[in-house]
Amino acid sequence: MNIPDSNDTFPLEHYDRLCFLKNIITNPNIIVGDYTYYDDFEDVHNFEKNVKYHFDFIGDKLIIGKFCMIASGVTFIMNGANHKMDGITAYPFNIFGKDWKVVEPKLSDLPYKGDTVVGNDVWIGTNVTIMPGVHIGDGAIIASNATVTRDVAPYSIVGGNPAKEIKKRFSEAKIKELLEMQWWNWDIEKITNNLKYLTDKSE
């Protein structure tokens, strides 16, 4: 079998604006599964630049599954963007130091939404923004320019700002079947042998 290698950074010959994403990630708090690709209009190394406010001392992770499709300009806002919001003002006086350091909040005082998790076989369109702690289910599709502020159900299509469900891709029974099947966890030879089944129109 002549199967694309998930460890190949640039799987398309003579084209360096699409990569298998796991091979360019340097941040240990970003975890990406096999065959997930990122396509960028300029430079694939923009991906990590577009994971914003991702500070080591907070410890949140961005976890992306296998076989995802991520378009140019996708931005992930992580928990480091959050301000303390239970006072009269949300202004972060402390970050400017001097006498303002007296109101330095503890990490436990800051809003924390947890890890951001993208499932498997998720397609994220151009210029999507994903907010902290969102979980996107397997097989979901996020329309271009959407702002995702809450969890996305498996095999649903969402769009808008804030993103709302447009429709389900399949019937509830079919979605249950697909979630149980988890084709992305098959060995790559089995996936290759079943490409026609995986890509034909499904009811």
Residue among 45, 54, 83, 135 flagged as catalytic: 83
| DSSP 8-state symbol, 21 | G
| DSSP 8-state symbol, 152 | B
User: In 3-state terms, the chain is what percent helix, strand and coil (to 5)?
Assistant: 25, 20, 55
Token couple for 3? 């199967």
83: annotated active-site residue: yes
Closest CA to 120 of 61, 198, 35: 35
CA 92, 58, 62, 115 dihedral sign is negative
Helix (H) or strand (E) holding 19: strand 18-20
Alpha carbon separation from 11 to 6, 37, 39, 71 (Å, rounded): 8, 9, 11, 16
Catalytic positions:
83
